[in-house]
Amino acid sequence: MSRTSAAAGKALTSNGNPFELFGLRPAFTLDSEALERAYREIQSQVHPDRFAHAGDAERRASLQWTTRVNEAYRTLKSPVQRASHLLSLHGVDVAFETNTAMPAQFLMHQMELREALEDAVETKDLPALESLQGKLDDDARSLEAQIASAIDHKKDYAAAAGLVRELQFLHKLGAEIDSAYETIG
Amino acid sequence: MALLQISEPGQSPAPHEHRLAVGIDLGTTNSLVATVRSGVATVLPDAQGRPLLPSIVRYGKDQVEVGYPAQARQSEDPKNTIVSVKRFMGRGVKDVDHLQNAPYDFVDAPGMLQLRTVAGVKSPVEVSAEILRVLRERAEMSMGGALAGAVITVPAYFDDAQRQATKDAGKLAGLNVLRLLNEPTAAAIAYGLDNASEGVFAVYDLGGGTFDLSILKLSKGVFEVVATSGDSMLGGDDFDQRVFCWIVEAAKLAPLAPRDMRLLLVKAREAKEYLTVHQEANITARLSTGEVVDVMLDTETFCRITQTLVQKTLVPVRKALRDAGLSAPDVQGVVMVGGATRMPLIQRAVAEFFKRDPLNNLDPDKVVALGAAMQANVLAGNKPQGEDWLLLDVIPLSLGVETMGGLVEKIIPRNTTIPAGRAQEFTTYKDGQTGMTFHVVQGERELVSDCRSLARFELKGIPPMAAGAARVRVTYQVDADGLLSVTARESTTGAEASVAVKPSYGLGDADIERMLRDSFEHANEDVHARALTEARVEAQRLAEATQSALEADAQLLSTDERATIDQALTALRAAVQKNDHRAIKHASDALNRATEEFAARRMDQGVRRALAGKKIGSL
């Protein structure tokens, strides 16, 4: 058995546009408050807790709707997924798994961070791990600002795709830092 | 306590009758049942006025004792007296620590271990059902009628197997399980509603056998779990074990007989509880060998021998904070839940970690049951919309599937808000391959062998194609109880192959039905009478819900559609008048089918209205 899907973990009912679902303008820069408000309004209408005493038909419809709303919310909350979705609306595939080309400078920096991570794990150095996490968070924030500018202002979707791949790369390192915390205890 | 509620004139909450609903805290050590009366959640005591039911079941040759009578005889009949059965729910023999210290006759069964007693081999589900049945009877007696439904709490860190086992136990006890609710979330409801709290809270829940740590955001009418972590094999029992081992060592005892083992475990627990308010505990016991144990345990020694356990609870605390993207100072309050949090060393460790005094104003033994009762009241539909609240909970452990090389591909990551559903596509790797095996696992590790195996299933009948041409879509759906179902479907060609599985642990629906029958015979209840009552309650609930939906949204239906639904509704009402529970069930199913499209349209309309309201509000 091997994997074919490029977009891992696509929404169950991905036919709907998550921006539309929440009544938001499609843009990378997110109005978090408006999203949160719309999410809660819809949830208060469709959540299974409202239908626990209803018939099977309503319970099923509620489960499907809530699942869809939760997935759409998650897509919009995640910078990588939000950007991927916007780019796909403009016909650009981020191609996480097939396009692995990265600027040399970015890769060099990543290698340094990875070495720092290995050192921190080896010496069980918690402060070093925390400072690494801090650096990564800064890098991610700066990348997100660049993605916002590329998508929302310059409308340079090809450049944005490259930046999204870099952001995804950072998230993978973030996951490794997470498991390093557990190894160190 | 919660404020009394007074409804607006003309909008009284009861055009329908108040439905009897309870919250049940099915604990490792003690269990409780609570309900909401006149807007106030209260624990229902037994006939002697005792609120707790010790989670202890003693099997005799022809009778079963539950609670205090079983507790009183545990040392004299350890093999047939099952304590802390929650530790065995959804667990195999190899999963349980200290198995050698438990005086039972274990049977290694596929999926879940079983226990050999004088009344036959019992699964932990059956033992738990005995406890739930006593609580159900207590509630029905006290409330004067059959229950419409129950919310049963589970540790947040329970995996799919443990949750499924708990739900099965509820069914076996004759309960309509409205929802499985996470214990720390239940505590947050009781606590949050009581104090009208807002902000980020941590719930530190150390029960008899499980530890949970949940981080919640509380805001007006919304309880949102941001992250949860824990250890489903760590609790107050482990502190007893440490004291037990210390006694054995201090008194230089030879290997013990089961009844002495149980006796000393009881003594260990008593000493631990005594040390909550005293500096020293005297432990004395006369063993079956005639040997007398007489040792003194002081708080210093107790702290020393249990220090690693206390530290062990802080690991999930750090993990949950990290997952939530928060640090200790962001937390505005730490709610203490579970009897084990009475230990001063736990209070100190938590205060030190969060740099603030933990909150103890609600009884740590009762707070979970009270919150569950409040949620049951909402789920039963006893609260009008607007006065209820929204609860957003998460799954504690990632759900994945095995891929090449024994690796895990995560499909739904931990801390995803439920209900959740996600799909992933797979393909064949050999030409002409017509079947595919899927292995569903739960856990955070990369290797399948380090995760919990939930189910294996095979998709057959894939039309022969070249390798990589088939498209098999595997969909994971987690419902509001945190329970998983998986479907796989091949749809490249017209010929579809699909399969759906619900991981279950040696207990099929047929097994449950058989046990249900046995248990009613045992309890001298009439199975048919019970089935008929249940079918009627269910049918009336459905008829009532359909009627009010028709009154509210008839404009969504064409004349023909309306006629079809009316017909099914009339048929159901006619069936309820007769004494055939199968016919009632049949008519209910028919009405459910007839209203499928109507339900979907109403839901769509609800979403549109919600968004329209928001836009007006945000202008």
Residue in B147, B411, B422 to test binding to A, most A beta-carbons within 10 Å: B422
Rounded Cα distance between A89 and A161, Å, is 13
Q: Mark whether B42 and B144 lie in a shared domain.
A: yes
Whether B426 and A3 lie within 8 Å, measured CB to CB = yes
Q: Is B196 left (phi over 0), alpha (psi -120 to 50) or beta?
A: left
If contacts are CB pairs under 8 Å, which of residues 67-86 in chain A contact chain B? 67, 70-71, 73-74
Rounded Cα distance between B474 and B488, Å, is 4
Q: Mark whether A114 and A70 lie in a shared domain.
A: no
* pLDDT at res. B507: 59
Rounded Cα distance between B312 and B308, Å, is 6
Rounded Cα distance between B460 and B497, Å, is 7
Q: Residue A117 is which amino acid?
A: L
Instruction: Output phi, psi for B40, to 5 deg.
Output: -120, 130
Instruction: Please state, in angstroms and as integers, the Cα–Cα distance from residue B255 to each residue in A46, B113, B281, following that order.
Output: 59, 25, 24
Q: Which of B44-53, B246-255, B455-464 has the lowest mean pLDDT?
A: B455-464
B323 is a domain residue: yes
Q: Mark whether A118 and A63 lie in a shared domain.
A: no
Q: Which residues, in sequence order, are CB contacts of B197 under 8 Å at separation 6+? A: B191, B218, B332, B333
SS (H, E, C) B186-202: HHHHHHHHHHCCCEEEE
Residue B176: both structure tokens together: 């309509």
* pLDDT at res. B464: 86
B117 is a domain residue: yes
B275 is a domain residue: no
Residue-averaged pLDDT of chain A: 85
SS (H, E, C) chain A: CEECCCCCCEECCCCCCHHHHCCCCCCCCCCHHHHHHHHHHHHHHHCHHHCCCCCHHHHHHHHHHHHHHHHHHHHHHCHHHHHHHHHHHCCCCCCCCCCCCCCHHHHHHHHHHHHHHHHHHHCCCHHHHHHHHHHHHHHHHHHHHHHHHHHHHHCCHHHHHHHHHHHHHHHHHHHHHHHHHHHHC
- Per the model's pLDDT, the better-predicted residue between B478 and B96 turns out to be B478
Structurally, chain A folds into a number of domains equal to 2
Rounded Cα distance between A21 and A73, Å, is 9
Q: Mark whether A57 and A110 lie in a shared domain.
A: no
B160 is a domain residue: yes
* pLDDT at res. B6: 44
Rounded Cα distance between B562 and A42, Å, is 27
Rounded Cα distance between A49 and B304, Å, is 46
Q: Residue B589 is which amino acid?
A: D
CB-CB: which of B318, B381, B615 is closest to A53? B381
* pLDDT at res. B449: 86
Partners of B424 on chain A (C-beta within 8 Å) are 3, 5, 8-9
Rounded Cα distance between B167 and B177, Å, is 7
Residue in B175, B425, B585, B602 to test binding to A, most A beta-carbons within 10 Å: B425
A117 is a domain residue: yes
Last residue of a domain, one of B329, B363, B392: B392
Instruction: Output phi, psi for B188, to 5 deg.
Output: -65, -40
- Per the model's pLDDT, the better-predicted residue between B32 and B447 turns out to be B32
Whether A181 and B426 lie within 8 Å, measured CB to CB = no
**Start-to-end C-alpha separation, chain A:** 35
pLDDT at B493 over 60: yes
Q: Mark whether A108 and A177 lie in a shared domain.
A: yes
Quick one: pLDDT band at residue B618, thresholds 50, 70, 90? very low
Q: Which of B62-71, B296-305, B413-422, B601-610 has the lowest mean pLDDT?
A: B601-610
Q: What percent of chain B has pLDDT over 70?
A: 90
Partners of B610 on chain A (C-beta within 8 Å) are 38, 41-42, 44-45
Q: Which of B284-293, B394-403, B430-439, B477-486 has the lowest mean pLDDT?
A: B430-439
Structural domain boundaries enclosing A144: 104-184
* pLDDT at res. B268: 96
Q: Which of A97-101, B25-29, B186-190, B330-334 has the lowest mean pLDDT?
A: A97-101
pLDDT at B169 over 60: yes
**Residue of chain B minimizing CA distance to A175:** B323
Q: Mark whether B355 and B440 lie in a shared domain.
A: no
Q: Mark whether A71 and A111 lie in a shared domain.
A: no
Give A7 to chain B, closest Cα distance, Å: 9
Last residue of a domain, one of B339, B366, B392: B392
Q: DSSP code of B463?
A: P
B296 is a domain residue: no
Rounded Cα distance between B421 and A15, Å, is 14
Q: Mark whether B373 and B464 lie in a shared domain.
A: no
* CATH code of the domain in which B421 resides: 2.60.34.10
Q: Mark whether A73 and A33 lie in a shared domain.
A: yes
A94 is a domain residue: no
CB-CB: which of B390, B425, B475 is closest to A4? B425
A95 is a domain residue: no
Is the separation of the CB atoms in B243 and B274 below 8 Å? no
Residue B327: both structure tokens together: 């640090």
B386 is a domain residue: yes
Instruction: Please state, in angstroms and as integers, the Cα–Cα distance from residue A69 to each residue in B7, B334, B486, B600, following that order.
Output: 32, 30, 20, 15
Residue-averaged pLDDT of chain B: 87
Q: Mark whether B404 and B338 lie in a shared domain.
A: no
Give A141 to chain B, closest Cα distance, Å: 14
Average pLDDT over residues A76-93: 93
**Residue of chain B minimizing CA distance to A65:** B603
Average pLDDT over residues B601-619: 69
B377 is a domain residue: yes
Instruction: Encode pLDDT of B369-426 as tens digits.
Output: 999 999 999 999 888 777 788 999 999 999 999 988 888 999 999 999 999 999 988 8
Write down the pTM of the prediction. Answer: 0.87
A109 is a domain residue: yes
Rounded Cα distance between A61 and A65, Å, is 6
Residue in B217, B213, B453 with CA at minimum distance from that of residue B350: B213
* pLDDT at res. A154: 94
Instruction: Please state, in angstroms and as integers, the Cα–Cα distance from residue B470 to each residue in B428, B435, B499, following that order.
Output: 6, 11, 16
* pLDDT at res. B246: 96
Q: Mark whether B58 and B147 lie in a shared domain.
A: yes
Q: Residue B216 is which amino acid?
A: L
Whether B390 and A44 lie within 8 Å, measured CB to CB = yes
CB-CB: which of A52, A61, A185 is closest to B379? A52
pLDDT at B619 over 70: no
Q: Mark whether B363 and B338 lie in a shared domain.
A: yes
CA angle (B614 as vertex; B609, A44 as ends), nearest 5 = 65
Structurally, chain B folds into a number of domains equal to 3
Q: Which residues, in sequence order, are CB contacts of B146 under 8 Å at separation 6+? A: B20, B140, B533, B537
Quick one: pLDDT band at residue B508, thresholds 50, 70, 90? low
A154 is a domain residue: yes
Q: Mark whether B211 and B96 lie in a shared domain.
A: yes
Q: Which of B382-386, B447-451, B552-556, B567-571 has the lowest mean pLDDT?
A: B382-386
Q: DSSP code of B410?
A: E
Is the separation of the CB atoms in B160 and B454 below 8 Å? yes
- Catalogue the long-range contacts made by B430-433 (C-beta closer than 8 Å, 24 or more residues apart): B430/B467, B431/B464, B431/B465, B431/B466, B431/B467, B432/B464, B432/B465, B433/B462, B433/B464, B433/B465, B433/B467, B433/B470
Q: What percent of chain B has pLDDT over 90?
A: 58
Residue A107: both structure tokens together: 């890769």
* CATH code of the domain in which A73 resides: 1.10.287.110
Q: DSSP code of B17?
A: P
Residue in B35, B362, B51 with CA at minimum distance from that of residue B203: B362
Structural domain boundaries enclosing B117: 21-234+315-392
Instruction: Encode pLDDT of B217-243 as tens digits.
Output: 998 789 999 999 999 889 999 999 999
Q: Does B413 sit behind a cis peptide bond, omega within 30 degrees of 0 on the bond before it?
A: no
Q: Mark whether A134 and A170 lie in a shared domain.
A: yes
**In B397-480, which ranges are continuous DSSP H helix?**
none
Give A154 to chain B, closest Cα distance, Å: 29
Is the separation of the CB atoms in A27 and A151 below 8 Å? yes
Rounded Cα distance between B64 and B523, Å, is 10
Residue B254 CB: number of other CB atoms within 10 A? Answer: 8
Q: Mark whether A64 and A121 lie in a shared domain.
A: no
Partners of A67 on chain B (C-beta within 8 Å) are 419-421, 477
* CATH code of the domain in which B188 resides: 3.30.420.40
Instruction: Encode pLDDT of B268-290 as tens digits.
Output: 999 999 999 999 999 999 999 99
Last residue of a domain, one of B392, B421, B453: B392
Q: Mark whether B467 and B348 lie in a shared domain.
A: no
- Per the model's pLDDT, the better-predicted residue between B566 and A2 turns out to be B566
pLDDT at A98 over 80: no
pLDDT at B24 over 70: yes
A131 is a domain residue: yes
Q: Mark whether A71 and A114 lie in a shared domain.
A: no
A114 interfaces chain B, CB cutoff of 8 Å: no
Instruction: Encode pLDDT of A103-152 as tens digits.
Output: 888 888 888 999 999 998 889 888 888 899 999 999 999 999 999 999 99
Q: Which of A13-17, A119-123, B305-309 has the lowest mean pLDDT?
A: A13-17
Q: Mark whether B52 and B141 lie in a shared domain.
A: yes
Quick one: pLDDT band at residue B8, thresholds 50, 70, 90? very low
CB-CB: which of A13, A57, A73 is closest to B599? A57
Q: Mark whether B554 and B597 lie in a shared domain.
A: yes
Q: DSSP code of B417?
A: B
CA angle (B385 as vertex; B382, B388 as ends), nearest 5 = 70
One DSSP character per residue, B218-264 reads EETTEEEEEEEEEETT-SHHHHHHHHHHHHHHHTTPPSPPHHHHHHH
Q: Mark whether A113 and A69 lie in a shared domain.
A: no
Is the separation of the CB atoms in B87 and B133 below 8 Å? no
Q: Mark whether B354 and B444 lie in a shared domain.
A: no
If contacts are CB pairs under 8 Å, which of residues 50-69 in chain A contact chain B? 50, 52-58, 60-63, 65-67
Give A125 to chain B, closest Cα distance, Å: 16
Quick one: pLDDT band at residue A13, thresholds 50, 70, 90? very low
Average pLDDT over residues B149-155: 97
Q: Which helix (H) or strand (E) holds B162?
A: helix B160-172
B541 is a domain residue: yes
A38 is a domain residue: yes
Residue in B210, B200, B106 with CA at minimum distance from that of residue B158: B210
Average pLDDT over residues B348-363: 94
Instruction: Encode pLDDT of B102-150 as tens digits.
Output: 788 888 877 788 999 999 899 999 999 999 999 999 999 999 988 989 9
Instruction: Please state, in angstroms and as integers, the Cα–Cα distance from residue B529 to each residue in B7, B26, B436, following that order.
Output: 37, 27, 45
Largest pairwise CA distance in chain A: 59
Partners of B500 on chain A (C-beta within 8 Å) are none
* pLDDT at res. B524: 54
Is the separation of the CB atoms in B398 and B442 below 8 Å? yes
**Residue of chain A minimizing CA distance to B602:** A58
Q: Mark whether B103 and B200 lie in a shared domain.
A: yes
Whether B437 and A63 lie within 8 Å, measured CB to CB = no
Whether A4 and B468 lie within 8 Å, measured CB to CB = yes
